[in-house]
Amino acid sequence: MSTDLATPPPATPEAVGHHDVADQRKVAMWAFLGSEVLFFGALITTFLLYRNDVGDGPGAADVFDIPFTSVSSFILLMSSLTMVLAHHSSMRRDWRQMRIWLLATALLGSVFLAGQVFEFTEFVHKGLTVSTSPFGSSFFVLTGFHGAHVAVGVLMLLATYFISVSGRFKAEEGMNVEIVGLYWHFVDIVWIVIFTIVYLLQV
């Protein structure tokens, strides 16, 4: 199948009218991720505008626990590794291994989410909520949306796992894992950006 999207497929009888579903889903996911870049871009820009608008409430230095967040960031980073391993297993058609790595990724993602929930609860106790200040509003909305994206990713991983378990997984469908992987890596990269800009670069 031609991977050069600018050139249409050759006019052979088999090729005419049939389309590489795998390629199509990849194109679709990339397009969608493109819009996600702008989505998180707008959220991050809002945060940059308001990061020092703390009103009467606590600021970043007052609430952030960098060591803790570093650990949960590392965990999310590791989940990208397990995601790659899941994909490789699917390429080798080792479905059992793939399922293990899928579960591992989902697990690591869930641990990350648990860490976020814990962290947010701490912040609220320290007096930072969505309505304390524009800093609070933009911080929670940004990281909250990221967390929601991770949660959706976990659901997608689990769904892929169960589909595989149910035995309805066709070989061509192995592409699914690559699509989920694209999404998962993207969400991870967004977190790296957020972690850097929000937590590490407290300007």
Please give the residues from 59 up to 118 whose contact with another protein meets the rule CB under 8 A. Answer: none
Q: What is the CA radius of gyration of the chain?
A: 20
Based on CB atoms, which residue is closest to another protein, 38 or 61? 38
| Residue 36 sits in the site that holds another protein (CB under 8 A) | yes
Q: To the nearest whole angstrom, how small is the minimum distance from the Cβ of residue 198 to another protein?
A: 16
User: What distance in Å separates the CA atoms of residue 183 and residue 169, rounded to the nearest whole number?
Assistant: 20
| Residue 46 sits in the site that holds another protein (CB under 8 A) | yes
| Residue 42 sits in the site that holds another protein (CB under 8 A) | yes
CA atoms within a 13 Å half-sphere pointing along the CA-CB vector of 176: 22
Which of residues 77, 100, 110, 134 is near another protein by CB under 8 A? Answer: 134
**120 contacts 63 by C-beta, under 8 angstroms:** no
| Residue 48 sits in the site that holds another protein (CB under 8 A) | no
Q: Give pairs for 197-203: CB < 8 Å, separation 24+.
A: 197/44, 197/47, 197/48, 198/47, 198/51, 198/60, 198/139, 198/142, 198/143, 199/60, 199/64, 199/66, 199/69, 200/66, 202/51, 202/60, 202/61, 202/64, 203/51
Site stretch for another protein (CB under 8 A), options 27-35, 65-73, 88-96, 184-192: 27-35
| Residue 130 sits in the site that holds another protein (CB under 8 A) | yes
User: What distance in Å separates the CA atoms of residue 151 and residue 120, rounded to the nearest whole number?
Assistant: 16
* Secondary structure (3-state) at 184: helix
| Residue 27 sits in the site that holds another protein (CB under 8 A) | yes
Residues in binding contact with another protein, number by CB under 8 A: 49
Q: To the nearest whole angstrom, how small is the minimum distance from the Cβ of residue 102 to another protein?
A: 16
Based on CB atoms, which residue is closest to another protein, 73 or 143? 143
* Secondary structure (3-state) at 65: coil
Which residue ranges make up the site for another protein (CB under 8 A)?
Answer: 5-11, 15-21, 23-24, 27-28, 31-32, 34-39, 41-43, 46, 49-50, 53, 55, 130-131, 133-134, 136-138, 141, 145, 159, 163, 168-170, 173
